[in-house]
Amino acid sequence: MLKNFFIFILFFLFSSLIIAENKIKPLNVKKIADGVYVHYGKHENIYEGSNIGDIANLGFIIGDESIAVIDTGGSHQVGEALKLAIKKISKKPIKYVINTHVHQDHIFGNTAFISDETLIYGHFNLKKALQERGSQYIRQVSEAGDKVKGTRIIFPHIIIAETSPDQVKKLSNEITIDLGNRKLLLTSHATAHTYSDASVFDLKTKTFFVGDLVSDERAPTMDGLVKNWIKVLNEIEKVDFKIMVPGHGKIQKDNTALKKTRTYLQVLYDDVIDALKKDMPAEKVIKIAAQTEKDKWILFDRVNPGNVVRTFMRYEWEY
Amino acid sequence: MYRYLFYIVFLLFSFVSVLQAEEEAYCSKSEECMEGRWLDLKESIFENKELKNGEGVIELSTPKRAPDGAFVPISFKTQKLKDNSISKVHLIIDMNPSPYSGTFKFSNNLDQIELATRIRLDAYSYVRVIAETQKGDYFMAANFVKASGGCAAPPLGDLAGMIANSGKMKIKVKNIEEKDGTAEAKIMISHPQFNGLQAHPVTTEMIPAYYVENIEVTYNDKVIMALESDISISQDPTFRFNFPMGNGGNLKITAKDTDGNLYSHSEKLALQGNKLKVASQQ
């Protein structure tokens, strides 16, 4: 009798340990406008320590008939957690997933949203960008181990562009989707933060999801082209919005974060060009470029060096 | 009753050890695995030769954590040896797909060799430089560098443009204030350095390998630096190294890539006062 009791207790403890570890909790989301919700990502390094890919801002918009999700997180688990959060608020079908760009923290939750009724939208370069980086990203994810198990690359189904009927000519870089009395304007931008940046504008509340084109608090990652990114910021600065949702950091009521991002990029560019004119060795440039911006950004020392490297590589041959 | 308890504890242990085993399947996270790999490499490249500690002979500078695995700046410096000189420096990157990354040869009329370049690092790895002397001894300096993804990273730029520009070269010369009679050359070779491990963005097949295999730099027809290398040298191979300026003369680079293309470029260097300048850049 006692022996059976012992076995039962051990079995119960053991299995509840396993179940507790695997249970996914819904993400914390905040309502920022009528039918618009945002989850704030943590300012951490992706997959380091206990981080499972929750570092970017994710959002969703609820229309009369369906829901659109903007970015899905950095792992299958974050995607599932986001989906749970959405289901707590609305049972409407999630018909649209929009990835603002190629980076892991924005696309790797896509697996949680695969369904017959869901279409994934992305910049016309997004699929190409995922194909280029796919093996690198998957390697990184496999090294992160069990905690991000099930994370895979899912390509977009629909490109954010109007094309001629034969799909040969691109007619415009914008398309509109309708969630049921709720139109969203999706735009594929010119090369900026990456080669695949897209934005989402909710006409009803004038909420502008800009992906990583604008960053607040967290040091911006320059993975596209510096000067082109500044140009794109100059364009989106003119948009009449009520709320801007950057890829990282707090929501904005004006262009403050946009200007901060642009200032950083200009300083980065100026410092690298100055160093190239002086024929400074690469190691030194990486140490000193954009250091005047250091105290303004979180994770600066982890993010800035890569930005300097990529800017340096782009312009080295011109000096 | 204790029998059942034993079975359950046994199951728990086997479960936990299976988990441990899975973690060590990826060499990049296991010291044991990395050590094993180095020992294999050492044997195949150096057989039973002794690799002495490089302190006082060769020094290696690397970042602790490189922000981009495709572009990791490294440099090494050698010291003057008594009754001996360094004829070659071997570069090894343990965890790269092609670990034996390059062999540098230098002319022996420099007391101190200094060379900087950029390498690709595929995973966290030891980077090693081994100086080989005229007398046949070997001295090693090794640093652990945290960087990864250098080999799968897509080429930076437009593929067609990169291929069209292959072989274009630039020479820059700087004078080293503290070292009389020594100048520093920066040589840049435009080349995609496709390593065969990068996915083509459209076809998704691997872009075929196409990289610089051989570089030779001569000054007044005397070889001052030569390199045999392969895929671990970053896109647009660039090298900074010092050389004795003498009275000026002709600095020439020749390079050969895996397609058999031969490229060359030269610049006339002239002494102005005690400074060496590239004549065409004045």
pLDDT at B25: 32
Domain ranges across chain B: 50-281
Tell me what percent of the residues of chain A surpass a pLDDT of 70.
98
Say which of A7, A134, A140 has its CB closest to residue B199: A134
**What is the Cα–Cα distance from B171 to B175, expressed in whole angstroms?**
14
Q: What is the dihedral of CA A292, A310, B58, B169, to 10 degrees?
A: -120
* A283 neighbourhood in chain B, CB within 8 Å: 61, 63, 73, 75, 116
pLDDT at B167: 93
- How far from each other are the two terminal CA atoms of chain B, in whole angstroms? 93
Helix ranges (DSSP H) in chain A: 2-22, 76-89, 104-107, 126-144, 226-236, 256-277, 282-288, 300-315
Distance from B255 to chain A by nearest Cα, in Å?
Answer: 18
Contact call for residues B145 and B64 (beta carbons, < 8 A): yes
- Fill in the amino acid letter for B60: L
**What is the Cα–Cα distance from B60 to B131, expressed in whole angstroms?**
11
**Residue with tokens 């072989």, as numbered in its chain:** B167
**Residue with tokens 């965890």, as numbered in its chain:** B95
Would strands A183-188 and A198-202 be described as parallel, antiparallel, or unpaired? antiparallel
pLDDT in tens, A224-234: 999 999 999 99
Among chain B residues, CA nearest to A3 = B1
Among B93, B90, B89, residue whose Cα is nearest residue B120: B93
Contact call for residues A79 and A109 (beta carbons, < 8 A): yes
Contact A317 B67 (CB under 8 A): no
Label residues B97-117 b or e (16+ Cβ within 10 Å = b): bbbbbbebbbbeebeebbbbb
* A307 neighbourhood in chain B, CB within 8 Å: 67
**What is the Cα–Cα distance from A198 to A174, expressed in whole angstroms?**
9
Say which of A11, A135, A305 has its CB closest to residue B67: A305
Would strands B249-257 and B51-53 be described as parallel, antiparallel, or unpaired? unpaired
Domains of chain A, first to last: 25-254 (3.60.15.10)
A316 touches chain B (CB under 8 A): yes
**What is the Cα–Cα distance from B156 to B162, expressed in whole angstroms?**
9
**What is the Cα–Cα distance from A138 to A113, expressed in whole angstroms?**
19
Among A2, A3, A54, residue whose Cα is nearest residue A29: A54
Contacts of A221 (CB under 8 A, 6+ apart): A103, A193, A212, A215, A303, A306, A307
B161 touches chain A (CB under 8 A): no
**What is the Cα–Cα distance from B165 to B208, expressed in whole angstroms?**
17
Among A274, A272, A246, A271, residue whose Cα is nearest residue A259: A246
Tell me what percent of the residues of chain A surpass a pLDDT of 90.
85
Distance from A128 to chain B by nearest Cα, in Å?
Answer: 5
**What is the Cα–Cα distance from B131 to B153, expressed in whole angstroms?**
30
Contact A7 B4 (CB under 8 A): yes
**What is the Cα–Cα distance from A24 to B143, expressed in whole angstroms?**
41
Contact A135 B152 (CB under 8 A): yes
Residues of chain B with pLDDT under 50: 20-26
User: Considering only residues 268 to 297 of chain A, which have any Cβ-Cβ distance to chain B shorter than 8 Å?
Assistant: 279, 281-283, 286
A132 touches chain B (CB under 8 A): yes
What's the rounded mean pLDDT across residues A63-73?
Answer: 98
* B16 neighbourhood in chain A, CB within 8 Å: none
B71 touches chain A (CB under 8 A): yes
Phi, psi (deg, nearest 5) at residue A138: -65, -40
Cβ–Cβ contacts within 10 Å for residue A143, how many?
Answer: 15
B13 touches chain A (CB under 8 A): no
Map residue A156 onto helix, strand or coil.
coil
Say yes or no: ipTM exceeds 0.90. Answer: no
A69 pLDDT exceeds 80? Answer: yes
Say which of A11, A128, A134 has its CB closest to residue B202: A128
Contact A139 B240 (CB under 8 A): no
Q: Return the CATH architecture of domain B50-281.
A: Sandwich (2.60)
* B204 neighbourhood in chain A, CB within 8 Å: 131
**Angle in degrees, CA B216, B220, B226, rounded to 5:** 15
- Report how far apart, in Å, the C-alpha atoms of A242 and of each of A40, A182, A202, A203 are: 18, 16, 10, 10
Contact call for residues A184 and A177 (beta carbons, < 8 A): yes
Distance from B79 to chain A by nearest Cα, in Å?
Answer: 21
- Report how far apart, in Å, the C-alpha atoms of A216 and of each of A36, A247, B135, B279 are: 19, 8, 60, 49
Distance from A120 to chain B by nearest Cα, in Å?
Answer: 19
* B199 neighbourhood in chain A, CB within 8 Å: 131-132, 134-135
Q: Rounded mean pLDDT of chain A?
A: 95
Among chain B residues, CA nearest to A305 = B67
The residues with which B93 forms a beta bridge, in sequence order, are: B127
Map residue A230 onto helix, strand or coil.
helix
pLDDT at B21: 43
Q: How many residues does chain A have?
A: 319
pLDDT at B211: 97
**What is the Cα–Cα distance from A282 to B48, expressed in whole angstroms?**
37
Contacts of B225 (CB under 8 A, 6+ apart): B104, B105, B106, B107, B115, B215, B216, B217, B239, B241, B243
pLDDT in tens, A304-318: 999 999 999 999 999
Contact B118 A286 (CB under 8 A): no
The most distant pair of C-alpha atoms in chain B lies apart, rounded to whole Å, by: 96
- Fill in the amino acid letter for A189: H
- How far from each other are the two terminal CA atoms of chain A, in whole angstroms? 84
**What confidence category does residue A94 fall into, taking pLDDT thresholds of 50, 70 and 90?**
very high
pLDDT at B17: 56
A5 touches chain B (CB under 8 A): no
B236 touches chain A (CB under 8 A): yes
**Angle in degrees, CA A22, A24, A26, rounded to 5:** 170
pLDDT at A21: 60
pLDDT at A20: 60
Say which of B4, B12, B28 has its CB closest to residue A143: B28
Contact B75 A306 (CB under 8 A): no
**What confidence category does residue A143 fall into, taking pLDDT thresholds of 50, 70 and 90?**
confident
pLDDT at B24: 35
pLDDT in tens, A248-291: 999 999 999 999 999 999 999 999 999 999 999 999 999 999 99
Among chain B residues, CA nearest to A6 = B5
The residues with which B248 forms a beta bridge, in sequence order, are: B246
- Report how far apart, in Å, the C-alpha atoms of A46 and of each of A41, A104, B12, B13 are: 11, 9, 31, 31
pTM: 0.89
